[in-house]
Amino acid sequence: MAATRTRKTAAESARKDGSGGKSATKTSDAPNKTSQASGVVTTKDYDKDFLLKLMREMLLIRRFEEKAGQMYGLRKIGGFCHLYNGQEAVAVGAAAAIDQKKDYVLTAYRDHGHALACGMDPGVVMAELYGKKTGCSKGKGGSMHMFDADRHMLGGNGIVGAQIPVATGVAFKIHYNREDGVVLCFFGDGAIHQGSFHESMNLARIWNLPIIYLCENNHFGMGTHYGRVSSVEDFATMGAAYDIPGRQVDGMNVLAVYEAVSDAAKQAREEGLPSFLEVKTYRYKGHSMSDPATYRTRDELDEFKKQDPLLLLRADLEDGGLVSDEQFGTMDKEVRKVVDEAEKFADQSAEPGMSSLYEDVLV
């Protein structure tokens, strides 16, 4: 077996700049203080086209989710549906840091944003929401099961934490075949206490697998605040139990996410080491379409919206003279058109035939 054990201590593994070590920032209900405008990470070191690409992708996800919510209300979409509004910077910043030709992405059920950030066609994603046969899972998976083998986007999982051991297996395949890839595994704060997460972290360190465990801490697992169900509030410390560097990241700042995932991917690719990122973000909508989110106050939501990832990046781009109000308006118009066309495509597509009920079913 190629899975040889070449262990390094956490100190040896930690990056020179310290980012591989845990950040001991105390978490709280207050929004993250580091904004794109005032924080460590700024737009000035980045290429304009790259920044505009990040902006457009976040905008596309926001407009797509708004449309999905609207169409759910009109009963065009049925079943489970979990929206990603507020978390756009996480999927976009992370996906921009990997190479999907050789790297892989796995995530949970709140997956529309990840699918779009991975470059999936908005029409195909919307058609899946509509349960149409032109959808990425032929209309039989729905909102929770976005999938695109060509783009190495291996889903979309409805069982909390189920993707974590699967992602670890994909990382083992890369390691075993001596490939150059890295696995980016997203999951929520509600998944962090699943045994499968802890078993996976342990195996990943014993075998030194090239995987990034990325916890999107959006503050809630259904209606429960993470602080009520976790013995530690700083999740980033959890990696230490498995000798895996942990780091806390501002998930409202797309560049902070991009940088953290770039570092982790480099470490995985060059040293074959796993890492763990706790990315602090906030979910604007309820858990799913039926949740009025009465377990939080309007004031709390409004506070987080003040550091909206799109507003912050836009403010930075405008401050730096990289984009004008008018240019932003043009981008928004173009993105809205893409989303309208995606909806039209989904609406006009055919339902899967009855005979397809038995296709792709493993018995």
Ligand X SMILES: Cc1ncc(C[n+]2csc(CCOP(=O)(O)OP(=O)(O)O)c2C)c(N)n1
Q: Which residues pair with 216 in a beta bridge?
A: 188, 279
Q: Which of 352, 263, 264, 288 is nearest to 111 (CA)?
A: 288
Residue 285 contact, options Mg ion, ligand X, none, Cβ 5-8 Å cut-off depending on partner type: none
Work out which of 21, 141, 190, 309 binds ligand X, going by CB under 6 A: 190
Give the shortest CB-221-to-ligand X separation in angstroms.
Answer: 3
- Which residue's CB is nearer to ligand X, number 123 or number 190? 190
Cβ neighbours, 10 Å, residue 206? 14
> Nearest 5 degrees, angle CA 266-CA 271-CA 277?
55
Give the shortest CB-355-to-ligand X separation in angstroms.
Answer: 30
Give the shortest CB-223-to-Mg ion separation in angstroms.
Answer: 11
Give the shortest CB-181-to-Mg ion separation in angstroms.
Answer: 27
Which two three-digit tokens encode residue 39? Answer: 């924080």
- Considering only the stretches 92-100, 157-165, 203-211, 290-298, report the one whose residues sit in contact with ligand X under the rule CB under 6 A: 157-165
DSSP structure string for 290-320: T---TTS-HHHHHHHHTT-HHHHHHHHHHHT
- Considering only the stretches 187-195, 198-206, 264-272, 339-347, report the one whose residues sit in contact with ligand X under the rule CB under 6 A: 187-195
Work out which of 189, 243, 259, 343 binds Mg ion, going by CB under 5 A: 189
- Residue 91 lies near ligand X (rule: CB under 6 A): no
Give the shortest CB-131-to-Mg ion separation in angstroms.
Answer: 26
Rounded Cα distance, 213 and 290, in Å: 29
Q: What is the 3-state secondary structure (H, E, C) of 332-358?
A: HHHHHHHHHHHHHHHHHCCCCCHHHHH
Give the shortest CB-99-to-ligand X separation in angstroms.
Answer: 26
Cβ neighbours, 10 Å, residue 110? 24
Between β-strands 211-217 and 224-225, what pairing exists: parallel, antiparallel or unpaired?
A: unpaired
Number of residues interacting with ligand X: please give it, by CB under 6 A. 15
The site map against ligand X for 251-290 (x = CB under 6 A) is: --------------------------------x---x---
Number of residues interacting with Mg ion: please give it, by CB under 5 A. 5
- Which residue's CB is nearer to ligand X, number 166 or number 206? 166
> CA of 277: how far to CAs of 94, 258, 290, in Å?
11, 12, 30
- Residue 157 lies near ligand X (rule: CB under 6 A): no
Instruction: Enumerate residues 48-87 that contact ligand X by CB under 6 A.
Output: none
- Which residue's CB is nearer to ligand X, number 158 or number 169? 158
- Which residue's CB is nearer to ligand X, number 159 or number 357? 159
Rounded Cα distance, 276 and 259, in Å: 14
Give the shortest CB-189-to-Mg ion separation in angstroms.
Answer: 4
Amino acid identity, position 84: Y
- Considering only the stretches 29-37, 182-190, 315-323, 331-339, report the one whose residues sit in contact with Mg ion under the rule CB under 5 A: 182-190
Residue 306 CB burial class (10 angstroms; 0-12, 13-18, ≥19): exposed
| Kind and range of the H or E run holding 83 | none
Residue 143 contact, options ligand X, Mg ion, none, Cβ 5-8 Å cut-off depending on partner type: none
- Residue 218 lies near ligand X (rule: CB under 6 A): yes
Query: Are 245 and 10 in contact, with CB atoms under 8 Å apart?
Result: yes
H helices of the chain, in order, are 10-13, 48-73, 88-95, 112-117, 122-129, 163-176, 195-206, 226-229, 254-271, 298-305, 309-319, 325-348
Work out which of 86, 221, 274, 309 binds ligand X, going by CB under 6 A: 221
Work out which of 22, 67, 110, 145 binds ligand X, going by CB under 6 A: 110
- Which residue's CB is nearer to ligand X, number 108 or number 310? 108
Binding site for ligand X (CB under 6 A): 108, 110, 158-160, 188-191, 218, 220-222, 283, 287
Binding site for Mg ion (CB under 5 A): 188-190, 218, 221
